[in-house]
Structure 1
Amino acid sequence: MTAAPALLSRAEAPSAEAMRLATVQPGHARRLAMEAERAALHTGDWADLSVARRAHGVAAIQLRDLDEAMTQLRGSLSAAQRAGSAQLAGEARMSLASALALRGRALHAFREIDGALRELSGVSAARAMVQRSAILQEMGRVDEALEAVRPALPLLRRFGDAQWETRALSNRSLLHLERRAFAAAETDLLTALRLCERHGLELPRAYVEQNLGCLKASKGEVPAALEFFERAEHRYRGLGLEVGSLLVDRAQVLLAVRLVEEARATAEAAVHAYSKQRRIHLPEARLLLSTVALVEGDLRTAEDAANRAVREFRRQGRHQWLALARHARLQARMVRDPARVTSGQARRSADELAAAGWEVPALEARVIAGRLALERRQPGLAQRDLCLASRARTAGPADVRARAWLAEAMLRRAGGRPYGALRALSAGLRILEEHQATMGATELRAHVSAHRGALARLGVSISLAAGNARGVYQWTERGRAVSVLLRPVHPPADPVLARMLADLRATMTEIDQHRGAGRPTSALVQHQVATERRIRDHCRKAAASGCGGGASPPEIDELAAVLGPAALIEYVELDDELHAVTVVDGRARLTRLGPLTEVHAGLRHLPFALHRMANARTPKVSAMAAAAVLEKVRDGFDRVLMRPLARLIGDRPLVVVPTGPLQSLPWSVLPSCVGRPVTVAPSAARWYRSARRTGAAPSPRVVVVAGPGLPGARDEAEAVAELYPGSVRLFEERADATHVSAAMSGAGLVHVAAHGHLRSDNPLFSALRLADGPYTVYDLELLPSPPHQVVLAACDTGRSHVVAGEEVLGLTAALLSQGTTTLVAPVVPVPDGETAPLMRAYHAQLLAGRTPAEALASAQERTRAQGILPLAAAAGFVCLGAGLA
């Protein structure tokens, strides 16, 4: 958030125009001021020189050049004194006070503003009151700042000073936000916005829109916050400004929804901007960087940035912010060496934060203090801390209330009331699920799930301690893949998004052409990055429409009715231990599987082995060695994941719900799964919904697509199409986004043979390569009606990117959330030209009446015995979604 500098004056002559424009068009104003300064020096007009230099200094403040600003403003004061004008001297002092405050020289700033108030009267004195309030605001003295601005507003209205009134209202809105007085803040900002619109105040309007973004973020309205930040950025950019506070505000919102990589880059940009400008806000940016780095697990950066912020806040005398920096340092130390952090340290941090007015961080510190006290057998202290934290259950943003319910749950559990604790956790989760459903963008919904994790994990822990299989299932489901249960809300007819996606495809195609011809691509890559950002920001602004809150997972009896003779295995990870809940014949059972050590090791070796086996250029000796590694790894997986459950599941078809690390496991390689129909789902709730939809008669339309540049794609597609007379065939130039989207929408079966690309940096840009460029998750989300079944014979397209612990993003997650019932796709790269026999066998089995999971299991058995390459091609594919019907 930003407090708009309250700086303006009026005079006559060209210097007056420069002063009038200094906070509206600072670049133009600086040029005018320099011309007026030369003229005043030539004529010896000290009064006009004072105005010109002040205009120059004020414009320099807006342009983030504080060194130039202070030089010019001191010159303005000197010229005013030579002119013998107390009025001009007071105005110069007022502007100089602003520059000094922004540089962090609080005592000097107060000396100058107090001197200005002694020299000024009327509207000029009212402006100085606003400026004094802004300085107090910068120093974190909120009550004094509110009192200082109160008498100024009536005077400014009486004199019709719209620019200063706008600044006073915009700055006061931030003071209201500090006190969480949202209604008062919004009233001030909307009044300021109307003044800007009426008087054409472009730069002040950017400040107001940025602060409206801060207001929306404080209320938890993330899409609206991001939209206001984008508006403000557009205006700043038009004025040639780089505003560090906007970077900080945006990074805070990105961090709140756990878009950590973006938040890190934005926070680092803020640190760079403030370092270059030598502004008082530099330690605030460092503090934010510390928090982001801690979430990323970069402990060295987290602790270093927090230590530097502590030193800088102490040097500036900003004690309110110093409390926050010390808390960040404590959090970093607790992650690095938890045994050395005591509950007393966390408690003192909470007290210090509360005294400084930081309600939300104080709540976090209370919860930490309570948890540490419980772990160290200090029940009395724990009760005190958790009681204080739980008081915020009924008011404030969703994440605050949810944290307070977590504290209440911990308190109830410690008091021997596990069922009361579970009710508290349910209350917290309902708040977050309702909040999640207000977000239109898939990405935001998925990443905000991180806030659900602590609540769901505690529910799992309580249920595990009680040996309650149904409870473990319910709480695991409530923390898992909720975002794929909510269909994205981008309207199918979104011409703006469609144009941007077409631009991205054209750009990517041009990049490939330039690289092939050995021509430079840097400009095109920059355009690609900019276009991807526009697409991402456009979609993030979408408001949810018709998305209810998170639905409860199906009960075990409901699952059993749809499962029939099949078995369901839900894997559960807690504190590096793996457990499984099985549902067989309507009965849920809980099995401890042991540490995750062997699983993590296997997940490192398995892709390597399959990659070597899938490469036709791998020497035979190396391929055989890779096959031996595969044999060892798959036996290890089977020993941990399947054999302890063998008595319970027998030889039944399986529905597998993996935990995060297992989302991309090729299950068919496990000895216990060979020849067995297995379907994989991101959650039991997702499988249940998909399975219930399989009863509806799908469209008879079959669509077969062959993308460019993939050896064997055309042959595979032709072979599949021959099995379905009358199928829609999209090959070569007809395999473009327009034709594919039109054909896929509502189709009964779609088969795509194409290159696939999983983007771990931004999973929603994961794509299939079509004739006119990448066909992304955003394109899939625009389909008016989902295809019933889909086969993606494209590398890695079955692999999802796991975010926020148990949420998944990617091509398959997008199709499942759209309503596709079943997908078949590889979770590892597959050898080009080797998938055709597997795909022919799969479709032949489908036409013979087998379910997708049965058809894939049968096709894999037939091809795995034909050599290493066919084995690698077959092993990589999994069935996802309903699968068994």
Structure 2
Amino acid sequence: MTVSRADGISLSRTLIAQSPDVARRRAEQTLAEDPSPRPRATALWLLGMARRELGESDTAHRLLYQAAAVASRAGVPDTAAHARASRLGSMAMRHGTSGMAGTSLGRMSTAVSSARALVPLHLGVAAAQRGRFGSALAGFDTALGEMAGADEQLLCGLLSNRGLALMYSERFGEARHDLERARSIAEERTLTYLHGVTVQNLGCLAVRNGDVPGALSLFAEAAPLVPAARQAALWLDRTDALLTAGMTGQAEHALTEVQRLLPPRGASTSDLTAFSLLRAKIHLARGASEEAGRHAQRVRRWFPSDSMWARLGALLEWAARNGTSHSHALGPVAEEAARGTGIRNNRKAPRPRSRARPHSSVPDVRTGAASAALARCVPTTPLGPLSVAVPNQRHTDALGALALGEHERARSELLRRPADGQPAVAVHHVEAIAQTRTHSQEIASAGAEIAMADGDAAAALEWVEHSRTPGIRPSPCRDREWGGLLERCRSEYTRADDGEGTAPEQLRSTTARLGIAQWHSGCARPSAPPRTVAPLPQEFRRHLRDRVFLCYAHVGGAPVAFTFSNGRSGIHELAPRGEIEDAVAKLVSAARFNAVFPGGAAQRDLTRAAQRVEHALLRPVAAAVGDRPLVIAPAAYAQSLPWGLLPSLRGRDITVVPSGRSWLESLDHCRGARGTALLAAGAGIGGGETEVRSLRRLYPGARVLTGKDATVRTLLEELGGADVAHVAAHGWTPASAPMLSGLSMADGPVFAYDLERLPRVPNLCVLSSCWLGRSVPSDTGSPLGLSSALLALGSATVVAGVLPVRDHDITPAMTRMHGAIHAGATPSRAVADHLADAGFVCFGAGA
């Protein structure tokens, strides 16, 4: 196959569609042979197009100019027309269709039928690059009409571009039709490069449809099919998908990879636009409003006002300026942006469907909070450089119900199936579920604020619970690639722990990949329909009995506590957030120091710090809780608090949970049998084997793992079949990667991630280790760590410490605690009596 044949243009286009790099080498080989003018013109055109696809736009422009000149002198009109259209199209992509290149391209006409479709095609691509998708579709439709008799390579490229433009125009069904047709042509004709581009575009469509795992799977499929020059664009799309999933940390890592891949000079306008929009959103999520606004303003100024990219930049710029504002209106910049993107003007609350009360009679506080909620939905939901995520009809209907104070109907709207009846696709990993941020969480915050303003404690608590309830349950992961990456992480962790020089850097890279890799298609499936749940007060009346439910939250930016006891809900104001966080941090620090160096000044510091937290968190609710047992759902600042060290809680029966509904679910898990026991001691624990031996008499049929038998694989196998598990081992909870919290066994670490591969987890888990009761709040506030993972995966009760544990000193207390449970005490009662002073906490049901 050479480019000197009569069908050179069609053949050349096939070469580029298969591999731009191969096309470049073939063209260079032909030119090196000093061909006659005809094949030389075709080779120059091929080389110019290949260079363009490889990201070398300046070189491509020069080569295409030469190709057109050589073809004209040689009397080859088809090659000259193709070269001229390609050169003007490249210029229009960089400078816009309204510039000289776009004008010249628009005026260009050709009698060469094979080139007739190129002019509107290039105009369409240039318009799409500038964010003008209506104009882009007009160009693509014209090109499609001129496509009769054209080769399938050109049709494949046209359909792939048209599918993306249809997606941005919210015509998702047509977009999928075009992209699937392009994919079919690419596969049939072995057009590798075009196949990869089309798969990438299908991934973008999956992001828009909420199928993040499917999107990431498609991006992974596209990666080996496209050249290095397109890898930055692929990583930009990955970043967009991760932000759509609410995984800001992983998105930030992905954007770092983009920075590495972008050329220092000559990056495409589309890549730079996407990079700046994504960077603005990440800064916004991190609270860096000034940086976010700077990146967003840059994008807005790059494009004319009718460009989607300009409108997205304007929305993000507004969000950066007003992100903490509770203004009732979007403001002029955002309103102008909203008019062009389909986002509803938010100057008034949505018109509710109910006619029970006229809209004009709604109090200002309700209208304002619902309006502010819709405003917050716009900037905090990832808008994507290639997507515009907006609240759907369910969200606006929920806000309409909120505007009338109809809280129950508002929650029902949020749980309603989408209008198309298609279930959303969900990944069932603990961290992915915890990280997911949805419009409904923003609306839940508004609902709690409105209920608080009305003094309706029960409704406010229901909304807080709604924001903490993920709606998706984790389930075992069977994905082999995920398992392989986890084993690689374990190996790198062990090598880093042994002091191998390059291992820490490799471990950091693999850790970041693990976070992203959770969104894989191997464990993604349609989410179950929302369950109908009884109102929380009704459930509490049935199950709390003599306990008091105590929930700490932020509503309207202020810390509050909710209580439920004796069938009644209460709201309690707390000290300012900064004061609470400072008091908690000082208590945790003093408790850790006292755990390592007990007594004397350390004990006095601990006592003073505990009294300060008591004053901030417990004195405001003292009348409501009295001295009764507590179920505590802490705010993010108190997720690792040693509650049993607070003066009024010493010796009190306490269990700590993510939310009230999670406590009710944990009670359901208590109904399983407790027959099979596992007792294990990890590596390097001097008192671990002694502890296991002391417990063996209480569990005579227990499976015991010590010494070299206590391997990672054996421990995981036994955990999957045990009802009660006690593990004494070194433990850790890294703040930057809480799902790598772990236990040190004979041959390496067991991570929280490992638990997601088990068929089931024990009903009662006791972790006799340092730190493993600690959790790290995700971006949405959900706790992440080994103990919280066990609860999420189905353990009823987890006993774990939030402080350092002195090895041999803890054995007698652990033995007494298990003895109390064996004698009939609940785990929460046994922890209060024997382990709370050592910083251990009972999580979950406690029953």
**Common fold by TM > 0.5:** yes
Q: Does 1:165 align with 2:152?
A: no
- Paired AA for residue 267 in structure 2: R
Show the counterpart of 1:878: 841
Correspondence list, 1:175-574, <5 A: 175-236=165-226, 239-270=227-258, 273=262, 276-281=265-270, 282-313=272-303, 319-335=307-323, 338=325, 343=329, 346-355=331-340, 358-360=341-343, 399-405=391-397, 407-409=399-401, 412=403, 417-419=404-406, 423-428=409-414, 430=416, 438-482=426-470, 486-491=472-477, 494-513=479-498, 515=499, 519-521=501-503, 524-525=506-507, 528-529=510-511, 532=514, 535-538=517-520, 542-544=523-525, 547-549=528-530, 552=533, 554-574=535-555
2:489 and 2:507 in contact (8 A); partners too: no
Q: Does 1:757 align with 2:736?
A: no
1:217 and 1:225 in contact (8 A); partners too: yes
- Paired AA for residue 298 in structure 1: A
Of the three residues 591, 596, 604, the one matched with 1:615 is 596
- CA drift at 1:180: 0.8
1:248 and 1:270 in contact (8 A); partners too: yes
CA distance 1:615–1:102, change in 2 (3 Å): farther
2:369 and 2:449 in contact (8 A); partners too: no
Show the counterpart of 1:582: 563
Deviation digits for residues 677-735 of structure 1, max 9, x if unmatched? 1111111111112223324432x221111122344333333333344223211123222
CA distance 1:523–1:251, change in 2 (3 Å): closer
Mark the runs of 5 or more structure 2 residues left unpaired by the alignment. Answer: 351-360, 379-387
Distance 1:308 1:755 in 2: 50
Percent identity, please: 27
CA distance 1:229–1:501, change in 2 (3 Å): same
Distance 1:745 1:812 in 2: 16
1:429 and 1:452 in contact (8 A); partners too: no
- Paired AA for residue 221 in structure 2: R
1:482 and 1:807 in contact (8 A); partners too: no
Distance 1:406 1:349 in 2: 22
Show the counterpart of 1:648: 624
Q: Does 1:38 align with 2:32?
A: yes
- Paired AA for residue 163 in structure 1: Q
Distance 1:434 1:607 in 2: 47
Distance 2:451 2:437 in 1: 21
- CA drift at 1:808: 2.3
1:173 and 1:188 in contact (8 A); partners too: yes
Show the counterpart of 2:48: 57
Mark the runs of 5 or more structure 1 residues left unpaired by the alignment. Answer: 1-7, 369-373, 865-873
SS state of the match for residue 277, structure 1? coil
2:763 and 2:795 in contact (8 A); partners too: yes
- CA drift at 1:838: 2.6
- Paired AA for residue 707 in structure 2: E
Deviation digits for residues 92-131 of structure 1, max 9, x if unmatched? 112212322343354243245346x423521221233322
CA distance 1:409–1:380, change in 2 (3 Å): closer
- Paired AA for residue 219 in structure 2: F
Deviation digits for residues 525-567 of structure 1, max 9, x if unmatched? 47745863674343x6522367342553653233232222222
Q: Does 1:819 align with 2:794?
A: yes
- CA drift at 1:666: 1.0
Correspondence list, 1:140-151, <5 A: 140-151=131-142
SS state of the match for residue 243, structure 1? helix
CA distance 1:365–1:119, change in 2 (3 Å): farther
Show the counterpart of 1:867: none
Show the counterpart of 2:709: 734
Distance 1:279 1:216 in 2: 24
- Paired AA for residue 465 in structure 1: A
CA distance 1:62–1:497, change in 2 (3 Å): same
What is the TM-score with the length of structure 1 in the denominator?
A: 0.85
SS state of the match for residue 258, structure 1? coil
- Paired AA for residue 410 in structure 2: A
Show the counterpart of 2:831: 856
Q: How many residues align?
A: 824
Deviation digits for residues 32-59 of structure 1, max 9, x if unmatched? 211212223xx5x233222222211211
Computed over aligned residues only, the root mean square deviation of the Cα atoms, in angstroms, reads 3.7
SS state of the match for residue 579, structure 1? strand
1:389 and 1:404 in contact (8 A); partners too: no
Deviation digits for residues 292-313 of structure 1, max 9, x if unmatched? 2111111232122122223322
2:130 and 2:303 in contact (8 A); partners too: no
- Paired AA for residue 765 in structure 2: V
1:364 and 1:403 in contact (8 A); partners too: no
SS state of the match for residue 816, structure 2? helix
What is the TM-score with the length of structure 2 in the denominator?
A: 0.88
Distance 1:138 1:657 in 2: 49
CA distance 1:17–1:85, change in 2 (3 Å): closer
SS state of the match for residue 724, structure 1? coil
Show the counterpart of 2:63: 72
Correspondence list, 1:766-781, <5 A: 766-781=741-756
- Paired AA for residue 104 in structure 1: H
CA distance 1:91–1:158, change in 2 (3 Å): closer
Structure 1 stretch 529-538 or stretch 464-473: which is displaced more?
529-538
1:579 and 1:590 in contact (8 A); partners too: yes
Distance 1:766 1:384 in 2: 41
2:726 and 2:768 in contact (8 A); partners too: yes
Deviation digits for residues 275-305 of structure 1, max 9, x if unmatched? 6433121133212211221111112321221
Show the counterpart of 2:102: 110
- Paired AA for residue 230 in structure 1: A
2:712 and 2:745 in contact (8 A); partners too: yes
Of the three residues 638, 651, 656, the one matched with 1:675 is 651
- CA drift at 1:208: 1.1
2:682 and 2:688 in contact (8 A); partners too: yes
Distance 2:51 2:347 in 1: 41
- CA drift at 1:162: 1.6
- CA drift at 1:845: 1.8
1:14 and 1:36 in contact (8 A); partners too: no
Show the counterpart of 2:720: 745
1:437 and 1:550 in contact (8 A); partners too: no
- Paired AA for residue 839 in structure 1: M
- CA drift at 1:877: 1.0
- Paired AA for residue 193 in structure 1: R
SS state of the match for residue 147, structure 2? helix
Distance 2:8 2:595 in 1: 75
SS state of the match for residue 117, structure 2? helix
Distance 1:124 1:504 in 2: 53
Distance 1:401 1:834 in 2: 59
1:567 and 1:649 in contact (8 A); partners too: yes
